[in-house]
Amino acid sequence: MYRQKQRITLTAALALVPLAAACGSEQAGSTSAAAQKPVTGVHWTVDSLTVDGKEHDAPTDAHVTIDDSGKAQGNYGCNHFSARAAFDGDRIRLSDATVTEMACEDAPMTFEENLARTLADGPLKTEVSGDRLTLTTGAGDTVRLTEEQDAPLYGTKWTVTALGEGEVAESLPKSAEGRAYLTFEEKPGKVSGRLACNKVNAEATVRDGRITLGTASTTRMMCEASLMDAEKRLLRLFDGTVSYRLEHRTLTLTSENGESVTATAGK
């Protein structure tokens, strides 16, 4: 888990190479004739990056998606990005990136800088084999990615990773990492899990992008102060209605007063 606390603001912080217009008759997102599936419309999780012959494992959150309209977005390892994408046969060029401004620990930030630089070093050759995608620069550096399926709202263990208020998000304290989670059940319409310290159960009715949460029933354990503080913030979601946004394997719950909870699906 990488700790981060920063106001999220889009900025053209990374200067990528100019966009080259797609040419030829290839359809957007097409790959070589031997490709099993197109590059577009898939959530590609970054597995590793090889630069100058040295391989680097990717942080958990690093991913890329590209749609048919020519938009790419994802996460470099710490910060989210969006960019323009242009195809020319089995090659893709990414440009005009905008990036959020969040500070993480040294490891993901170093990986992020290298990944951003590599993705900007277009055109990149695309090779698809089954559920794997490889992007290769002209210099031979590579980004290896794997297709990852979307997580369903119901039946998934959603591990809480951050708490937010307005535009500011803060990761959980170290002591709470991996402890708080929620699981929604369509029938009989309930949510259960753990709130950093205590277990919780409540009714949960999902309708039209919103979840109405009933009164929380919890155990009565006492934990250290940092866990109890996180638990109190999570408890404020109950006895009310929250909006929810599900993006691939990330779930965001937002209360009517602007407090939010971000959770990710387990592998």
Average pLDDT over residues 52-74: 92
**CB within 8 A of 68, min separation 6: which ones?**
28, 29, 40, 41
Confidence at residue 106, expressed as pLDDT on a 0 to 100 scale: 74
**Residue corresponding to tokens 């997102």:** 29
Question: What pLDDT band is residue 263 in, cutting at 50, 70 and 90?
Answer: very high
Which position has the higher pLDDT, 60 or 96? Answer: 96
Confidence at residue 267, expressed as pLDDT on a 0 to 100 scale: 61
pLDDT > 90: what percent of the chain? Answer: 66
Average pLDDT over residues 57-86: 91
Confidence at residue 33, expressed as pLDDT on a 0 to 100 scale: 36
Evaluate if residue 19 carries a pLDDT over 70. Answer: no
> Could you tell me which of 190, 184, 195, 191 has the C-alpha nearest to residue 156?
184
Confidence at residue 35, expressed as pLDDT on a 0 to 100 scale: 36
User: Mean pLDDT across the chain, nearest whole number?
Assistant: 84
Please state the length of the chain: 267
Among 25-39, 52-66, 188-202, 208-222, the minimum mean pLDDT is found in 25-39
How many Å apart are CA 263 and CA 267, to the nearest integer? Answer: 13
Confidence at residue 26, expressed as pLDDT on a 0 to 100 scale: 40
Q: Which phi and psi angles does 230 have, rounded to 5°?
A: -65, -40
Buried/exposed code over 157-194 (b: 16+ C-beta within 10 A; e: otherwise): ebbbbbbbeeeebebbbeebbebbbbbbeeeeebbebb
Confidence at residue 249, expressed as pLDDT on a 0 to 100 scale: 84
pLDDT in tens, 209-262: 999 999 999 999 999 999 999 999 999 999 999 999 998 888 999 999 899 999
DSSP state of 36: S
